[in-house]
Structure 1
């Protein structure tokens, strides 16, 4: 083989080697880019998960340290509140019509009921046409974290009724309703609300802290939840649910004009 041929062959081998190195570097570079992309995706995903956990925890504990907003009472002169066991009756004694309202302070649909119909009910109560019998129930007692808020709030509302402040207390708890599945208001917060709506009787604090009416509330709920006259079909067979309203012993269909139908 002549020198020119050897030199040509050598140059060809060098060019082939150079292309191989370049290709190898290209593959390595592509793999590196893939690794970087995967790493970034994992980091972003982890950040989203951590952020979601932080947001969920923050949302769940949103009531911690919160002062429940006191509501200004709008009852007319002559409207009285009277507790009888686990039931609170609100209205003027001469009212000819009575309804029973069954609700839970943690129930989101009960809050919607209050927002939709409170004004209509209040108008009929204030003009002496209607009395309302409130049954505050611990139906969702296991749906707060920790469990127990439904019972604590129902008990505190009865203690507030003893001081003539049931409606103000009731309205405030629905206005600032805790999230179902999250932290409810603790007893100290319920006591603070009572004080903010004007309760000065020291026995209120004792009743809230001791759960004075808890047994009455639980006994009443057990009876109510199994009462055939209060059963409704919610799509999966008959059962009891909140809110439920009755008039003359019959469950009321909660249409937009149901209040007017009851009093007319």
Structure 2
């Protein structure tokens, strides 16, 4: 009998030591992961602002916050765009100036830019949504379009740190905005709900990709057919 009791005791001790090793192993893994996460967060917060490229000048007639042109123009065009979207940057670089020159300046089109910040997914603090909030804060000081241009000029990809809070504030400083007022607006997430509402509104209109345009109520996916859609609307 004593021998059996001794064996039981030894087995219990082995199980206890095994459980302790597993417990310490998991604690170690969790600790390492926590340290790595903190390191990443510290790295992001300490990341230098880096180079900020100047945007090409583009005159926008009758600019009013995120709209431009004659509000009584026969054609209303609303762009749904994500500031991190490479194709949206291509529209800004390749085609927007001709749309402004041929349609907005001539009084044919009233054009509105609406942020459709979907690349972040459900992250309310993602770079697309943060950039959109910052652009609306710049609009409070009459610089929405100038800020819009800086964002696209300095966009290099998706979720790679182009639009950290430090850089978004630096963009405002580069434009000569009132830094205190801009920071107050941005840090308070003044336009967070507006950005979320913009996204929901675009979805309700059938927008599934960027850039997309609504031309007098007709959805146009992509920008290659935008001019033709405007001409068709004008013909009506």
The question of a shared fold, defined as TM-score above 0.5 by the shorter chain, is answered with yes
Q: Out of 89, 98, 113, which is 1:111 matched to?
A: 89
SS of the equivalent of 1:138 reads coil
What is the TM-score with the length of structure 2 in the denominator? 0.68
Whichever of the two has the greater Rg, that structure is 1
Structure 1 portions without partners, runs of 5+ = 1-60, 83-87, 232-239
* Cα 1:92–1:211 shift into 2, 3 Å: same
Aligned to 1:79: 62
Contact between 2:54 and 2:153, CA under 8 Å: does it hold in 1? Answer: no
After TM superposition, give the deviation of residue 177 of structure 1 in Å: 0.5
Contact between 1:79 and 1:91, CA under 8 Å: does it hold in 2? Answer: yes
Q: What are the residue-to-residue correspondences of 1:230-241 with 2, within 5 Å?
A: 230-231=206-207, 240-241=208-209
* Cα 1:73–1:143 shift into 2, 3 Å: farther
Q: Out of 51, 68, 72, which is 1:90 matched to?
A: 68
Q: Out of 117, 120, 130, which is 1:138 matched to?
A: 117
After TM superposition, give the deviation of residue 136 of structure 1 in Å: 0.9
Q: Out of 53, 73, 83, which is 1:69 matched to?
A: 53
Deviation string 1:4-43 (CA, Å, 9 cap, x unpaired) is xxxxxxxxxxxxxxxxxxxxxxxxxxxxxxxxxxxxxxxx
After TM superposition, give the deviation of residue 129 of structure 1 in Å: 2.4
Contact between 1:64 and 1:185, CA under 8 Å: does it hold in 2? Answer: no
Count of aligned residue pairs for this structure pair? 187
Q: What are the residue-to-residue correspondences of 1:153-164 with 2, within 5 Å?
A: 153-164=131-142
Cα separation, 1, equivalents of 2:223 and 2:91: 11
Q: What are the residue-to-residue correspondences of 1:163-174 with 2, within 5 Å?
A: 163-174=141-152
Structure 2 portions without partners, runs of 5+ = 1-43
Residue 245, structure 1, aligned to residue 228, structure 2: no
Contact between 1:136 and 1:154, CA under 8 Å: does it hold in 2? Answer: yes
